[in-house]
Amino acid sequence: MRGAWAGTATATAALLGAVAAAPAPPPPGWTAGAAQGRPYVYLEGPPGSVLEDTLSVTNPGPEPLTVRLDGRGAPLAFAARTVTVPARTRADVPFAVTVTAGTAPGEHRGTVSAEAGGRQVRVPVHLRVSGPSVAALTVEKVRLDGSGTVHYTLVNRGNTVLAPSLSLRAEGLRGTVLDRTSRALPLTLGPGERATRSEPWPDPPALDSITLHVRATAPGAPAADARAERVFVSGGAIAGGAGALLVMAGAAALAARRRRDRDVRAGRPGEGPGSPVEETQLVDATAGADR
């Protein structure tokens, strides 16, 4: 019995020794972020100023960590492009953003990044240049294709970040055939940025002359309007000559609209200025779609 207890004790000691000798779990990976735990870097100043902040890099590992630093989207400058952070240490690395004299007032975006061991961490930089703010949005290149899909491009012409919304309305020869109220789009546009998008229209008319009105809005910016025109004629809808009559009526309506627009541009009396016409088209009379 004593021998059995001795064997058990020896095995237990060996097991405890193995546990004690097992390597400790690896520490969490290194991190980088704005100083004081901020989710992003925020800087503000007038044109011609130099703004400073720091990037905090934490190395919890047992060995020194060499990190490469970089910046995008803003004139960022580091004292050194590579920094070695000692083991179990946090290093606050200063950097500067130079706001040149010609920088437009408003909001600008960029990133600072740290890279080591094949891993990169990016920290957003929000830069606000003081001066008058201008919110301006345009909607351009509006096109209605044969399937009813609406194509358009939104452009931020101002110096503030915009969160646009869009509404659609289509008028046919017998009244409104589409009325889609304004809804927020899943995007933001920085100054000078543009986004090309499309909106489906699952059930466009088979036989009609359509004027599509597109309106884009954003908080603080005047509404932007544009329109496109198209005659829809499907093969099945022209039986009995009714389609031919509608085509003629649609063509006449489009011609009248073009004359009105020319009169407005020339300063002659008319119905008043309207949205710019981006496109006027006639859908294929037999296929009902683009060639």
pLDDT tens-digit series, residues 73-88: 777 888 888 999 999 9
Closest CA to 102 of 51, 52, 53, 46: 46
Residues 266 and 152 in one domain: yes
Domain that holds residue 42: 31-129
C-alpha 12/C-alpha 34 separation (Å) is: 49
Sort residue 82 into left (φ over 0), alpha (ψ -120 to 50) or beta: beta
Task: Tell me the CATH number at 261.
Answer: 2.60.40.10
Please say which residue of 84, 107, 129 terminates a domain. Answer: 129
Whether residue 23 is contained in a domain is answered as no
Please say which residue of 112, 129, 146 terminates a domain. Answer: 129
C-alpha 111/C-alpha 72 separation (Å) is: 5
Residues 38 and 63 in one domain: yes
Residues 153 and 250 in one domain: yes
Residues 210 and 119 in one domain: no
Residues 255 and 151 in one domain: yes
Measured in whole angstroms, how far is the alpha carbon of residue 88 from the centre of its chain? Answer: 38
* Residue 6 pLDDT greater than 90, yes or no: no
pLDDT of residue 26: 41
Residues 145 and 264 in one domain: yes
Number of domains in the chain: 2
Whether residue 262 is contained in a domain is answered as yes
Residues 160 and 251 in one domain: yes
Residues 148 and 123 in one domain: no
* Residue 213 pLDDT greater than 60, yes or no: yes
Does the pTM exceed 0.75? no
Whether residue 107 is contained in a domain is answered as yes
* Residue 96 pLDDT greater than 50, yes or no: yes
Q: What are 75's two structure tokens?
A: 């004139």
Closest CA to 275 of 286, 267, 285, 264: 264
Average pLDDT of the segment spanning 233-245: 58
Please say which residue of 89, 113, 129 terminates a domain. Answer: 129
Answer yes or no: are the C-beta atoms of 282 and 230 closer than 8 Å.
yes
Whether residue 181 is contained in a domain is answered as yes
Whether residue 141 is contained in a domain is answered as yes
* Residue 285 pLDDT greater than 80, yes or no: no
Whether residue 160 is contained in a domain is answered as yes
Q: What is the dihedral of CA 283, 285, 290, 291, to 10 degrees?
A: -140
Measured in whole angstroms, how far is the alpha carbon of residue 73 from the centre of its chain? Answer: 15
**DSSP character at residue 162:** B
Average pLDDT, rounded, for the chain: 79
* Residue 200 pLDDT greater than 70, yes or no: yes
* Residue 242 pLDDT greater than 90, yes or no: no
Residues 210 and 118 in one domain: no
